[in-house]
Amino acid sequence: MATAFTHALVGCALGGAAPSRLPRKRLALAGVLLAVLPDLDVVAFALGVPYGDPLGHRGFTHSIAFAAAAGGLTALAMLGSRVRSRDGLVVAGILTLAGASHGFLDAFTDAGRGVGFWIPFDYTRYFFPWRPLATSPIGVEAFFQGRALRILWNEMQWVWLPVLSLTALAAHLRRRHET
């Protein structure tokens, strides 16, 4: 899996790139939470759920269906009845993308059993053909006792730099469009 830092960065960037008429700071925070949320499935290990089970690691919580449900429910919590407006659909879309970004990043990693993108409709686990991201160990202690700096450097090159560049470009274009 990618690190929580990288998942959070992508979620924050998606929320922060929203049009200025939307609550970008709240969207960025919600984006961070939704981008990190899928890894709560590691609790399944403690409950005896096997890794490859649909409810195991990189299973249902990494699926597009879960991202859509979490994004929609979070948009509803943020906007209430306004969620049915055009802006509400944009907010729900951004939050869904933030949640879905988790599985997409994990599918670019070099280890594991793949990501259950289509659970509950298809239980196949997938990786992308190109997998440049080093897999981060599960657990804080394992991460910091291991190759943390090498993993973060790898993610900075492959994810952080492109995301921050696109975020800067989006901010520039937004300022240019608003003036």
Task: Say how many domains are in the chain.
Answer: 1
Cβ contacts of residue 48 below 8 Å, gap of 6+?
A: none
The sign of the dihedral angle between the CA atoms of 83, 89, 91, 97 is: positive
Please say if the pLDDT value at position 58 is more than 70. yes
pTM: 0.92
How many C-alpha atoms does 1 have within 13 Å on its Cβ side? 26
pLDDT, average across residues 74-92: 92
| Low-confidence winner among 5-9, 64-68, 147-151 (lowest mean pLDDT) | 147-151
CA atoms within 13 Å, Cβ hemisphere of 68 = 7
Mean pLDDT of the chain: 92
What ranges make up the beta strands (E) of 45-125?
none
- E strand residue ranges, the chain: none
Tell me the mean pLDDT in the region 117-126: 98
pLDDT at 144 over 90: no
Look up the domain containing 106 and give its range: 4-178
d(CA 115, CA 40) in angstroms, rounded, equals 15
The fraction of the chain above a pLDDT of 70, given in percent, is 96
What per-residue confidence (pLDDT) applies to 14?
Answer: 95
The pLDDT-based confidence of 142 (bands split at 50, 70, 90) is low
Which is more confidently placed, 23 or 20? 23
Q: Is the pLDDT of residue 137 over 80?
A: no
Q: What is the reported pLDDT for 154?
A: 95
Q: Span 78-101, mean pLDDT?
A: 94
Residues 3 and 137: their CA atoms lie apart, in Å, by 9
CA distances from 65 to 57, 68, 89, 173 (A): 16, 5, 16, 31
